Amino acid sequence: MRTTVLLMSAGEAPMLRHSLPAALAQEPDEVVMLDNASLDETGEISRSHGVEPLRLEPRLSYAAAINEGIRRSRGDAILLLNADCFLEPGFLAACVERLSEEGTGSVAPRLLRTMGPGPDARLDAIDAAGMVVDRRRKNTLVGHGRPGLAFDQPGEAFGGDGAAVLYRRETLDACAVAGEYLDEDMALWASDVDLAWRARLAGWRCAYEPRAVAYHVRSYSPSTRAGMPEGDRRLQFRNRYLMMLKNDRAADLARDLPRIAAYEIAAFGYALLRERSLLGGYADALRLSPAAWRRRREVQRMRMVGRVPFGLEPAP
């Protein structure tokens, strides 16, 4: 299985100095280094390690940049990797072993928390043991903040976090909608969840592999959300509705309606009383709903399974 590491830096040279050598040490067949209109030393660092960067200019959204990188890559297995994620030895080999299992379309590694690239910045805590979408249609990181030795058994996850997740190219191609692997209307937050959901609809499983370890500097998480810009929180808020509009089906919504309705009431009350900037997310979702509805037709045509395993996550 030919492997590609797809690594992107958008002005993240201090992180790239560490993440690129760690990625190269995995000995992939190909490295696609996306320089997303960086104004720092991203290009020079890439070339110093023998990798000619793919310069994107002007700067694209995360989703659009990753889509371009996937189109330019040649691997049968593609590791989506953020510049602030540092792979430990044996990471890629462990992921590829699991990806070779029949019916497995992606592999979620065990991500551990760190505050920076150096060993002294590492925390004894899980960053993510995959992602989960529960029956309220709320997505979250599995195990975030739990002790670092938790989630030490292989299993199955709903999907893998976009900071570091290995996908089978066949799966990515099966999930593409109008030529897009990640939904470019979603831009960034939750676009990886949306892709994982579509992979589930297309009949692919996501394996969780704890032997594949990486350290990640998490910008948006349950523990950091309060410090994120209003625009980022609003983007995450409205993207949940776009995912539901594209990927859900009436029978599943009806089954989970009490949970969804209770969550909606709580979310609206919270936005109204505590975080009014989120209210604009409803208007944003409405504005983007015609395009989401057009995508829905294609997404539902790719459906190969009856029921999506909402709430599925690895054992702690």
What angle do the packed helices 191-201 and 280-301 form, to 10 degrees?
Answer: 30
Indicate whether 314 belongs to any domain: no
Residues 170, 117 within the same domain = yes
Do residues 292 and 245 make contact, with C-beta atoms less than 8 angstroms apart?
yes
Residues 286, 198 within the same domain = no
Residues 235, 199 within the same domain = no
* pLDDT surpassing 90 at residue 306: no
Residues 190, 161 within the same domain = yes
Residues 186, 269 within the same domain = no
Looking at residues 168-193, what average pLDDT do you find?
95
Task: Give the pLDDT of residue 223.
Answer: 72
Residues 209, 107 within the same domain = yes
Residues 129, 184 within the same domain = yes
Domain final residue pick, 181, 216, 251: 216
Quote the pTM value. 0.95
Indicate whether 286 belongs to any domain: yes
* pLDDT digit string, tens, across residues 199-239: 999 999 999 999 999 999 998 767 777 777 888 899 899 99
Residues 191, 255 within the same domain = no
Tokens 């209307």 belong to 185
Residue 279, sorted as left (phi over 0), alpha (psi -120 to 50) or beta, turns out to be: alpha
* pLDDT surpassing 90 at residue 302: no
Residues with Cβ within 8 Å of residue 133, at least 6 apart in sequence: 139, 158, 159, 193, 196, 197, 308, 310, 311
Residues 202, 236 within the same domain = no
Task: Give the pLDDT of residue 171.
Answer: 97
Residues 53, 197 within the same domain = yes
* pLDDT digit string, tens, across residues 22-61: 999 999 999 999 999 999 999 999 999 999 999 999 999 9
Residues 119, 235 within the same domain = no
Task: Give the pLDDT of residue 58.
Answer: 94
pLDDT band at 279 (very low <50, low <70, confident <90, very high): very high
- Structural domains in the chain (count): 2
Residues 190, 236 within the same domain = no
Domain span at residue 55?
3-216
